[in-house]
Structure 1
Amino acid sequence: MEVLLRTHGHQPSVSDNLELWANVRDTVYDSDGKVIVLLGASRMQLGINTNVLRKRFPDYTIAQLAVNGRRPMRALEDLANDKKFKGIVVCSVMTMSLPQDRWEGQEKQVKYYHQRTNISNKINQQIITYTQNHFVIANPNIKLTNMIKEAVKDFSMIKPSYVQGQPDRSSRANFSHRTDEQLLQYVPGFLRSKKQSNHPLQTDPKQWLEDVQIVETLVQKIQLRGGQVVFVRMPTSGELWDYEEQSIPKSLFWDRFAEKSSAETIHFKEIETLKNFTCPDRSHLDYRDTPQFTNALFDEIARRKVFSTTSFIQTANKMKPSIIQ
């Protein structure tokens, strides 16, 4: 069965869970701050090639803590309040996830990490991760009973999953076997409608900017320990980007947040080497594009001297003493 599955394009895939997240969360400590923590949701999991980062930054630990479908602010808050953490955070965010009343999303992961006590769970997870990473048949998304039934008819009709989970919690999306029509099913339903001519603002930009100032307190807690925070707006494409720009204009939200924040802020539309990537499902990068995107993004991060020994002094000059806590 293992050989048959591989013959038809199926690959091993590691299933994400709370214990795996907690195991990666354990790795964010380094006395010299040589840790790069990746926060966000599915765009960060799928869009950043961690193998590229490990080759590029061999002296740094790469900790992938993004969670599919979950806003990252609780995890950022947890790192900000962790006095032992002083690494670099690269956080993928949408502007509407920044106000504190929308921070919910990864509290389950944070709570599990701080409350877990059973060391055997960690060992069991390492065994599970190894098995799933090496054997297709261990992929929890593959239902063998259904596979056997379908194999009697035509095994080639059983399509592999387009997402492959990695042991470090990153993922790879292979959109090559999906038609544009199939990909569109992943775009939110309201985008399938042809009635997209009017997208009135539902949020007052001025009030929103006041609401997101609390994010600065998290950023500065990390900065004061010698760490760094980089907020990234990952690429979206086509009608999804059009809708986002019409309903939540970059100039009224992201740009104003970036102007106020002492963190580095990188919007894909502002960077020549980032703005032309296409997302096949309008929301995520194909794995073939992730090496180039990852290098381009971290070229920009490095250009801003985030990895420089002098970056703490530069950051201190940007900080706003009135809101440091």
Structure 2
Amino acid sequence: MPSSTSSFKTYKLERIVPQKHWVLLAMVTVGLTSMLVLGWEMMVWTKGYRPTLNDTEDLWASRRALVDKDPGRTVLIGSSRMLFDFDMDVYEKEFGERPLQLSTVGTNPGPYLEDLANHSEYHGTVIVGVVPSLFFAPGGPPVKSPNNHLRRYREWSPTQRAGHQLAMILENRFAFLNQDDLTLNKLLLELKIPNREGIKTPPELPPYFHEINEERQAGMTQLAATDQSLQHRIQQIWLPLFTPPPKEKGVSHEEHMENVKKNTDKILEDTRSRVEKIRTKGGRVIFVRLPSTGELRTIENKYTPREDYWDRLLEKTGAPGIHFEDYEELSGFDCPEWSHLSRKDATEFTKRFTKLLKQNIF
């Protein structure tokens, strides 16, 4: 019977490491990297950027977690006006309690109000900032954003918590870590390349013009409060953002207005239900309309008139509310870019607002 044999040779593999000055190369690499980082940091400082935390979903989740530990605490919800224009130090001095800031930029606070209403133990005071075009938005980014924040809180993993702590250490020290303006994608958008004809692009969003700390106490930057060119740029961004999109093709004006009414009625009913749930648990809800000025206020009056939105909100919910135009002491503030107060004015506004709360509501 034929047989076959095979032989195997054993090869010894040896990795040859080039004889180089590895320590010197490492030192040169670290040195060059440090120089580039330092140069980039110095450059962004010349453009007005300063170290500040990024207002991430992780930062929001860290504050939302405190509601579970103290379910009787005052909570602030709303959009950027509530975030910028409310001074928590002033409120704490007046009422002896430090509120939790859960407002987020460009959002409808409805999902946050629902979250508190469905919280089995929450029985505190909720102060809700109302920007009608956002509060009555039926969907889109104003609703998607708060839902994403809530999802982050509910699914917040230990790894994400640890990453958040590390990020805060770095962000408080380096201005170039600003994620609003200084990521590669954002920098590329600064290249003013004309769009092709017929291409639809998302609306331009405002550049970085606020700072925020670990407690999510935010405020307008000094540059935005004083630089007229930056103010003008932001003002021109607000105008299209606060102008409603055109009605859908094939939909008559009457049908469009009927859809708007249905959406508004639904949001009012949902809000009434949420307010009632909080009341049942011993809490309360207070609505506040913070200042806006200039052409932006004109647009708001045109598309979201007070009688159709603010007045109906208070009537439907039975909740108290403070509108800046109803009180002489609140109506004289000027918003540098038409939508938010400077830090100095935010502090003064909160002083006057808390006094009104004490006199008329608390």
Q: Could you give the per-residue CA deviations for residues 203-253 of structure 1, whole angstroms, max 9, x where no partner exists?
A: 569767643123111001111111111111111101111121123221333
**1:69 partner SS:** coil
- Against the structure 1 CA distance between its residues 108 and 166, is the aligned structure 2 distance closer, same or farther, given a 3 Å change threshold? same
The within-5 A match list for 1:242-321 is 242-306=298-362
Q: Rate the CA distance shift 1:275–1:112 in 2: closer, same or farther, 3 A.
A: same
User: What's the counterpart of residue 75 of structure 2?
Assistant: 37
Contact 2:79 2:131 in 1 (8 A): no
**One of 65, 77, 87 as aligned partner of 2:114:** 77
Gaps of 5+ in 1: 148-159, 193-199, 307-325
Matches within 5 A, 1:93-172: 93-98=130-135, 101-102=138-139, 104-105=143-144, 106-116=146-156, 118-140=157-179, 141-142=181-182, 161-172=208-219
Which of 40, 53, 56 aligns to 2:91? It is 53
In structure 2, give the amino acid aligned to 1:303.
Answer: Q
CA distance in 2, matches of 1:161, 1:97: 20
What are the Cα deviations for residues 255-314 of structure 1, in whole angstroms up to 9, with x where unaligned? 2322332222111111222111111111111122110011122222222343xxxxxxxx
C-alpha distance in structure 2 between counterparts of 1:274 and 1:71, whole Å? 24
Task: Give the partner amino acid of 1:110.
Answer: L
Look up the equivalent residue of 1:188 and give its one-letter code. L
Report the RMSD for the aligned CA atoms in angstroms.
3.2
Residues 1:281 and 1:256: Cα distance change in structure 2 (over 3 Å): same
| TM-score where L is the length of structure 2 | 0.68
> In structure 1, what is the Cα distance between the partners aligned to 2:175 and 2:91?
26
* Pairwise CA distance, 1:138: 4.3
In structure 2, the CA distance between the partners of 1:9 and 1:247, relative to structure 1 (3 Å rule), is closer
In structure 1, what is the equivalent of residue 53 of structure 2? 14
**Unmatched 5+ residue regions in structure 2?**
1-37, 188-206, 244-252
- Cα pair distance change 1:301/1:30, threshold 3 Å: farther
Give 2:61's aligned amino acid: A
Is the 2:88–2:217 Cα contact (8 Å) retained in structure 1? yes
* CA distance in structure 2 between the partners assigned to 1:301 and 1:280 by the alignment: 26
Partner of 1:178: 228
- Hey, what's the Cα distance between the residues in 1 that align with 2:183 and 2:173? 17
**Aligned in 2, Cα 1:253/1:162: closer, same or farther, shift over 3 Å?**
closer
Residue 190 (structure 1) shift: 7.9
Q: What does 1:225-236 align with in structure 2 at a 5 Å threshold?
A: 225-236=281-292
Amino acid at match of 1:108: N
Secondary structure of 1:282 counterpart:
coil
Look up the match of 2:276.
220
Task: Give the letter aligned to residue 187 of structure 1.
Answer: W
Query: Which stretch of the first structure deviates more once superposed, 85-94 or 200-209?
Result: 200-209
TM-score under structure 1 length normalisation = 0.75
Distance 1:143 1:22 in 2: 23
Shift of 1:9: 4.9
Percent same amino acid at aligned positions?
28
SS in 1 for 2:279: helix
Seen in structure 2, the aligned counterparts of structure 1 residues 161 and 122 have a Cα distance that, compared at 3 Å, is same
Q: Structure 1 residues 98, 41: closer, same or farther in 2, change over 3 A?
A: closer
SS across alignment from 2:277: helix
Is the Cα contact below 8 Å between 1:133 and 1:167 reproduced in 2? Answer: no
Deviation of the 1:187 alpha carbon: 2.2
Alignment CA distance shift 1:274-1:61 (3 Å): same
SS of the residue corresponding to residue 169 of structure 1 reads coil
CA distance in structure 2 between the partners assigned to 1:128 and 1:247 by the alignment: 41
Quote how far apart the aligned CAs of 1:78 are: 0.6
Instruction: Tell me the amino acid that sits aligned with residue 218 of structure 2.
Output: S
**Aligned partners of 1:8, 1:97: CA distance in 2, in Å?**
31
Taking a change above 3 Å as real, the CA distance of residues 256 and 131 of structure 1, as seen in their structure-2 partners, is: same
